[in-house]
Amino acid sequence: MSRSLRVLQIVPSISLVYGGPSQMVLGFSQGLAAQGAEVTILTTDANGDVDQDPLDVPLNCAIAQDGYQIRYFRSAPFRRYKFSLGLLTWLALYAHEFDIAHIHALFSPVSSIAAAIARSQNLPYVLRPLGTLDPADLQKKRQLKRLYAALLERHNLAGAAALHFTSDQEAKVSERFGVVTRDWVMPLGVTAGDAVSAEAIAATRQEYRVSSDRPLVLFMSRIDPKKGLDLLLPALEQLYAEGRTFHLVIAGANPQDASYENQIRAQVQASPLANCTTFTGFVSGEAKSALLQAADLFVLPSYYENFGVAVAEAMAAGVPVVISDQVHIWSGIQRSHSGWVVPCAIPALTEAIRLALHHPGDRRQRGANAQAYARQHFSWEAIAQQMLGAYEQVVHYQP
């Protein structure tokens, strides 16, 4: 095209509360802008579904950031569902000014209605399901989701220029409700944090009570039942009973379900792991970078994970990973020897962590492999170039 491609990114929220899959829209937009696209993010001020205050941001005005623009709208009247009548009204008025929309999340009212508006305005759109088409995820509120799909999402899938999946496995297992779709498989990117000094790493380990002679085993994710803590904690208890030395750091929180987070904290406190476990709460920025680079091993035995942003971040920091084969980027990790891949079973997880703790040289080599793999496959620059080419094909062939 002779002019810059005008791209809308539509996502219910980019609050840190909702984790990496929503936050990635920021890095994605920066990457697209660096390649010359004019990018606008439409989102809401939603900041949690329970008692959290909304994001403290200007509303319904263009905010310049890292080469792109963000427009926030009030999440109302259905705050729990991140709905925004203001966002949808704006989209109906200005959709014609854009070439393509990339809509992130299904089974979310603002995303579903945004897709319907895009169709009515002849604006081509791409849908990124964020794992919501995974059969395991569809089991939650199954009957309601089937009805929702029949009324809204089936039409949205049928009208999409493409579905954006972040791994081959996510695309393979996803439900389409009888619709034939065009699939794009492109991973998410991660931004490697700045190198952290040895002094900062030592200070981080001291802050979290990790002695210098103990491997730091890091779980960094939302504290949620799907993340496999019910596998990880018994596995580590077994290794502790064997006399293995380590320190577990659980970095994360769950403002959406404080009761489950409290349950996990109480479980650890009542177990032998109480003496070698630190809960940090949510970490970000320099503290997150320092914690990643201080870690000796990253563990995420999720029951299902359409990508695994935290896994990719750990790899970019040079940390070897132990993950389940339900984290959908597992095949690349296995091929590149960037860590250990196990089924969702306590004995297999225990054995993988045992091997990792027993062989520090192997850990270091797999960490180096992980960092090299992340640089090659999870670069925002490469992903943005690939996505822009796909966008332009869609826009070029629109009738």
Asked whether residue 147 is assigned to any structural domain, the reply reads yes
The total of structural domains in the chain comes to 2
Residue-level pLDDT at 228: 97
Mean pLDDT of the chain: 93
Residues 84 and 202 in one domain: no
Residues 383 and 358 in one domain: no
Residues 362 and 385 in one domain: no
Residues 209 and 91 in one domain: no
Residues 175 and 235 in one domain: no
Q: Which residue, among 383, 395, 369, 390, has the nearest Cα to 314 in the 3D structure?
A: 369
The pTM (predicted TM-score) of the whole model is 0.87
Q: Which of 16-20, 225-229, 240-244, 346-350 has the lowest mean pLDDT?
A: 16-20
Q: What is the average pLDDT across 334-341?
A: 98
Q: Which two structure tokens, joined as six digits, stand for 186? A: 């492109």
Asked whether residue 90 is assigned to any structural domain, the reply reads yes
Asked whether residue 347 is assigned to any structural domain, the reply reads yes
What is the percent of the chain where pLDDT is above 70?
A: 97
Residues 263 and 330 in one domain: yes
**Rounded Cα–Cα distance for residues 125 and 159 (Å):** 8
CA 306 centroid distance within chain: 8
Asked whether residue 107 is assigned to any structural domain, the reply reads yes
Q: The dihedral of CA 259, 260, 266, 270: what is its sign? A: positive
**Rounded Cα–Cα distance for residues 368 and 362 (Å):** 10
Asked whether residue 371 is assigned to any structural domain, the reply reads yes
Residues 230 and 325 in one domain: yes
Residues 115 and 219 in one domain: no
Asked whether residue 57 is assigned to any structural domain, the reply reads yes
Residues 372 and 386 in one domain: no
Q: pLDDT band at residue 255, thresholds of 50, 70 and 90? A: confident
Residues 13 and 130 in one domain: yes
Residues 120 and 220 in one domain: no
Chain position carrying tokens 């089936």: 154
pLDDT tens readout for residues 181-223: 999 999 999 876 667 888 989 999 999 999 989 999 999 999 9
- Kindly state the helix (H) or strand (E) to which residue 341 belongs, with its residue range: strand 339-342
Asked whether residue 305 is assigned to any structural domain, the reply reads yes
Asked whether residue 1 is assigned to any structural domain, the reply reads no
Provide the domain limits for residue 22.
Answer: 6-189+379-396
The domain that holds 141 is classified in CATH as 3.40.50.2000
Residue-level pLDDT at 243: 96
Q: Which residue, among 95, 98, 104, 81, has the nearest Cα to 10 in the 3D structure?
A: 104
What is the percent of the chain where pLDDT is above 90?
A: 78
Task: Say if residue 385's pLDDT is above 70.
Answer: yes
Residues 84 and 208 in one domain: no
- Specify the DSSP class assigned to residue 14: -
